[in-house]
């Protein structure tokens, strides 16, 4: 089964996807993480993606579709996987469906709903580990050792696209291009929703309940 995390930037998709991946022993596949890695390594993909990412806009479909198609062929995806940040628009959802039609993969999409005010606060106080991609919140979830990742000790950074201006664009992109996916998956009967305004553990418990009860 493919679990698809849906929700605006800052909803906690990455954190929840990581926790789920650990609990279910499935790979966590984040297009944002893959693109940031490509950017860091200055690959061709990274160079092409940079201007879009810096502006908070979507990277062209053909680039992300290609990285997803390749990633899903790997052995670790054979039991299922958790998609975080993909699909991001209707065209990507159609592309993904064409892959799943071939492999017979079923979808469970999980929408994490969070109020706009909470999102902006979370994103602007978010710190990220550039090595293991774990996220921390300066207000809600401070690190044990100031400014360092609890898991690997790497110095945390603030993502360039977590600046106020880029956050506004990312939210706009979400509402115009990504949110329509909710209706698409609702019509397919593969959509469930959780309230993401609550503490991380409570959201996680709700998600696991939905995953376990999904027929």
| Catalytic residue flag (residue 13) | yes
Q: Concatenated DSSP letters for 41-95? A: TT-HHHHHHHHHHHHTPPPPHHHHHHHHHHHTTSGGGTT-EEEES---SHHHHHH
| Catalytic residue flag (residue 50) | no
> How far, in Å, CA of 139 to CA of 126, rounded?
9
In the list 59, 96, 110, 203, the residue contacting ligand AMP (rule: CB under 6 A) is 59
List of residues 6+ apart from 179 with CB closer than 8 A: 8
Least separation in angstroms between CB 213 and ligand AMP: 27
| Catalytic residue flag (residue 198) | no
Burial status of residue 130 (CB atoms within 10 A of its CB: 0-12, 13-18, 19 or more): middle
122 binds ligand AMP (CB under 6 A): no
52 binds ligand AMP (CB under 6 A): yes
31 binds ligand AMP (CB under 6 A): yes
DSSP reduced 3-state for 2: strand
In the list 6, 64, 112, 207, the residue contacting ligand AMP (rule: CB under 6 A) is 64
Least separation in angstroms between CB 117 and ligand AMP: 19
Query: Looking at 18, 36, 122, 126, which residue is catalytic?
Result: 126
> How far, in Å, CA of 6 to CA of 139, rounded?
24
Least separation in angstroms between CB 58 and ligand AMP: 4
Interface residues toward ligand AMP, by CB under 6 A: 9, 31-32, 35, 52-53, 56-59, 64, 85-86, 88, 92, 161, 170
């Amino acid at each position: 089964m493919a679990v698809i995390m849906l929700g605006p930037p800052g909803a906690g998709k990455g954190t929840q996807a990581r926790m789920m991946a650990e609990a279910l022993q499935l790979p966590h596949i984040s297009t944002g993480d893959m693109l940031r890695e490509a950017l860091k390594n200055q690959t061709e993909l990274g160079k092409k993606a940079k201007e879009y990412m810096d502006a908070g806009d979507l990277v062209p479909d053909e680039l992300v579709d290609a990285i997803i198609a390749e990633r899903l062929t790997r052995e670790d995806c054979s039991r299922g996987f958790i998609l975080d940040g993909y699909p991001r628009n209707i065209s990507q959802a159609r592309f993904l469906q064409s892959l799943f039609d071939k492999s017979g993969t079923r979808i469970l999409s999980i929408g994490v709903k969070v109020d706009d005010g909470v999102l902006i606060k979370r994103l602007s106080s978010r710190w990220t580990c550039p090595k293991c991609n774990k996220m921390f919140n300066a207000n809600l979830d401070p690190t044990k050792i100031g400014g360092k990742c609890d898991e690997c000790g790497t110095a945390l950074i603030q993502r360039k696209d977590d600046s106020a201006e880029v956050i506004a664009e990312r939210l706009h992109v979400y509402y115009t291009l990504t949110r329509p996916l909710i209706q698409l998956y609702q019509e397919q009967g593969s959509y469930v929703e959780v309230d993401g305004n609550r503490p991380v553990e409570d959201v996680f418990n709700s998600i696991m309940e939905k995953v376990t009860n999904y027929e």
